[in-house]
Structure 1
């Protein structure tokens, strides 16, 4: 009888420790910051004042452009966006790379899905071609990077919102 009690207590302790460990998973901001492929994205998130939003409650899927994607923008674009007077434009650009909910690429396999970004702009996610997934004109180059409050998919392009 004593062994059953000890075994039960041990199992309960392992469940509690496992739950505590799971709740310490990095949030979207921490995951992007630690990744190393998203230095420009994180710099822009900080400049736009969006870091707290990516650390907070609510689940989001981020189509995070890699550093190479930002480097491929026309010369001077990133520097211009980081200027304080262009903060509103930067916020819109970044929010155009975010959709609500935590989405795995498997949800888009074998088809095309239209969805709206955090700015309200429509984007199309295409998973109809084998293992190649695209979001508008950008390709997902790394899939399903999990965070406590969402999911990150690395893009080889920046989802630039349409001009108003």
Structure 2
């Protein structure tokens, strides 16, 4: 009887741990649940922290691309990251006549691979502390490990930190970052 009760508790504990683990697998982003069975755009539109990014993706005409099969890794800057750009930058980029420049900036946040943070960390370690990340937009980001955090240095020397990693999508993964990555002028 005692063994049976112990097994029942253990099984219940395992089920509870599995539920917690499943819930923790995809963190909330911008207060919204992120679903592995939805694509990057379907999830991003629900994040209150990524309204500027979503507007920029729409203005650049990249919605259908990021809804596509992938796989994609998107380093997703928050609204605060866009707000930290010099005054007027976002408004200027969103103008129709600047679509090419906006597209370049946005595609410098996208990698044509499904790169989870552990894989990125391994590449950094294997490359002696810094790994070149080639983006869809032709930018080369420098990935480094700072403690448990991954940082990305853009082509202008700006450094973004991954603040929420490994947000799985049906067509890739999102890593939330705290700075907009910029290409060389």
TM-score (ref. length: structure 1): 0.81
Count of residues in Structure 1 that have an aligned counterpart in Structure 2: 140
* Alpha-carbon distance in structure 2 between the residues aligned to 1:79 and 1:58: 29
1:124 aligned to which of 119, 138, 142: 142
* Alpha-carbon distance in structure 2 between the residues aligned to 1:82 and 1:132: 31
Q: Is 1:52 aligned to 2:64, yes or no?
A: yes
Alpha-carbon distance, 1:69 to partner:
0.1
Structure 1 residue runs without a partner (length 5+):
1-23
2:150 aligned to which of 129, 133, 137: 133
1:34 alignment partner, SS class: coil
* Alpha-carbon distance in structure 2 between the residues aligned to 1:28 and 1:104: 15
2:169 matched residue in structure 1: 147
* Alpha-carbon distance in structure 2 between the residues aligned to 1:162 and 1:38: 24
1:89 aligned to which of 101, 114, 121: 101
RMSD of Structure 2 on Structure 1 (CA)? 1.5
Alpha-carbon distance, 1:130 to partner:
2.1
TM-score (ref. length: structure 2): 0.72
- Runs of 4 or more consecutive aligned structure 1 residues displaced over 3 Å after TM superposition: none
2:54 matched residue in structure 1: 42
